[in-house]
Amino acid sequence: MRAISKTFPGVRALDDVSFDVRAGEIHALVGENGAGKSTLMKIVGGVYPAGSYEGEILVDGAPRRFAGVRDAEAAGIAVVHQELSLVPEFSIAENIFLGREPRRFGIIQSSELYSRAQTFINELHLNLEPHMPVGFLGIGQQHLVEIAKALSRDARILVLDEPTAALTDTEGEILFAILDRLRARGAGIVYISHKLGEVFRLSDRVTVLRDGRTVSTDLTKALDTPRVIARMVGREVSEIFPSVKRNPAEVAFEARGVTVEDPNVPGKLLVDDVSLSVRRGEVLGVAGLVGAGRSDLMMAIFGAHPGRLAGEFFVGGSPIRINHPSDAIHAGLGFVTEDRKRFGLLLDQTIVGNITLAALKRLSGHMITNVSAETAAGEKSMKELRIKANSVFTIAGTLSGGNQQKVVLAKWLLTNPKVLFLDEPTRGIDIGAKQEIYTQINRLAAEGLAIVLVSSELPEVLSLSDRILVLHEGRAASVFRREDATAESVMAAATGHAA
């Protein structure tokens, strides 16, 4: 790609960016959110058609103009976007071959479809059943299907945008092995990631983008993490995880014997007799692979899981009933859900409409709303959490991921929670925004909040938590204290190899 520029209303997203990938290499593309990585890849993938940007795209040295995604695919380019493009009602096999189903006289050959999908799934070492509707899978597994779908197109150039954001470490390993094999076969791979560990492990070259411009392209061997971070943020990041000393007080919340059944598969337990407790001023980390039941546990505690079979809950020592999220909120629980677009935000409503939603009756009176009081509360939250937007009336869907996440956090803080559950609070947001979330977590814990932090990123759990609960296949595998936990020991417990 040569001299690519792209302007969106109000922003110059890309400014004279050049980028190339060779056959048989993995070229990592890094940069903060909003640096222009995804935009660049949407141009390569034909999402933004030729003519909507300046500059040119060359494949095998010949200039190409893509009018749409199909043109790009025909040229051997496959892009796996951050957003899933799966049909939830279709099976895994149908999704993988969507639009290219094996057919004879226009009739889909279903047995061939499933046998080919099975072969393909085996080849990728995925433990998936091709007949399973995609909607029943966890988000991590859905991402693996999405990646499988792109790989099934025999692309010569593969672009992966944050492929491991939703994957657990083991699933990530599977992916890395696949990528190694593809590279050996001569494919050119563009790898976009926030996780620098992966970048250093996988890539041959690294390009850093910042504010729509190329900062540098270097051999990976010639770089190290601090230098890349410095180039990404344009400043030195001395420490990603601010370390603090905490003094946990009395137990604020306790859950006993939480058991959750899969609503779609009767008899299958997603969470099996898990108990947890968290103290005031303490951060309890919850680690585990995708599918270990972390989110199901959170949803069940919050009264939002249709498959909950059992569970007792105590706030400040006294038992409470939670049959609906409103009960949980009433008892002083707050729940920053994973997948903010699906569970957290009203994307087409304003920031203030989102922020005040869960605490509307407290803020605004029981029946009649007080717009001015809401606006004032919204502006205060925006300032406190440093949400970057023109005003509280900006539509939430137009914000960057990091700011959206802060809006969800702000919504829950306004309910004055005693216990705050955070499910993957930093997924898909850039390092700067992550750090701000970490700072907030530390501030809230210091103010005496009890915090339960679910995260797929081990370093995050290890550095922020006072104790770590590890789940494995729906059961509590073990509980570590901060000083005893290492990446290896937590991982061992999460994969069922605990001592």
Sites of contact with other proteins (CB under 8 A): 9-10, 302, 304, 324-326, 328-330, 335, 337, 342-350, 353, 357-358, 360-361, 364-373, 375-376, 379, 389-391, 393-395, 397-398, 411
- Give the shortest CB-370-to-other proteins separation in angstroms: 7
Q: Are 136 and 56 in contact (CB under 8 A)?
A: no
- Give the shortest CB-286-to-other proteins separation in angstroms: 18
Residue with Cβ nearer other proteins (345 or 476):
345
Write the CA distances from 385 to 207, 244, 257, 423, 451, integer angstroms: 31, 19, 35, 18, 17
Number of other CB atoms surrounding residue 93 within 10 Å: 25
DSSP result, 170-198: HHHHHHHHHHHHHHHTT-EEEEE-S-HHH
Residue with Cβ nearer other proteins (394 or 442):
394
Tokens representing 245 are 């000393």
Q: Write b or e for each residue in 368-381: b if 16 or more Cβ atoms lie within 10 A of its Cβ, otherwise e.
A: eeeeeebbebbbeb
Q: Are 205 and 29 in contact (CB under 8 A)?
A: no
What's phi and psi for 153, nearest 5 deg?
-90, 10
How far is Cα 69 from Cα 85, in angstroms, rounded to an integer? 13
Residue with Cβ nearer other proteins (121 or 409):
409
Residue with Cβ nearer other proteins (112 or 339):
339
Closest CA to 98 of 176, 291, 84: 84
Residue with Cβ nearer other proteins (216 or 370):
370
Residue with Cβ nearer other proteins (233 or 346):
346
- Give the shortest CB-34-to-other proteins separation in angstroms: 15
- Give the shortest CB-342-to-other proteins separation in angstroms: 6
Residue with Cβ nearer other proteins (40 or 345):
345
Query: Where are the extended beta strands (E) located within 74-228?
Result: 77-80, 103-104, 107-108, 157-161, 188-192, 205-210, 213-219
- Give the shortest CB-323-to-other proteins separation in angstroms: 11
Residue with Cβ nearer other proteins (220 or 350):
350
Closest CA to 136 of 98, 95, 171: 95
How far is Cα 475 from Cα 473, in angstroms, rounded to an integer? 6
- Give the shortest CB-235-to-other proteins separation in angstroms: 26
- Give the shortest CB-357-to-other proteins separation in angstroms: 5
- Give the shortest CB-401-to-other proteins separation in angstroms: 16
What is the signed CA dihedral for 471, 475, 481, 486, rounded to 10 degrees?
-40
Residue with Cβ nearer other proteins (245 or 366):
366
Packed helices 139-151 and 110-123: angle between N→C axes, nearest 10 degrees:
100
Residue with Cβ nearer other proteins (12 or 482):
12
- Give the shortest CB-266-to-other proteins separation in angstroms: 18
How far is Cα 4 from Cα 221, in angstroms, rounded to an integer? 27
- Give the shortest CB-280-to-other proteins separation in angstroms: 23
Closest CA to 450 of 267, 245, 252, 307: 252
DSSP 430: -
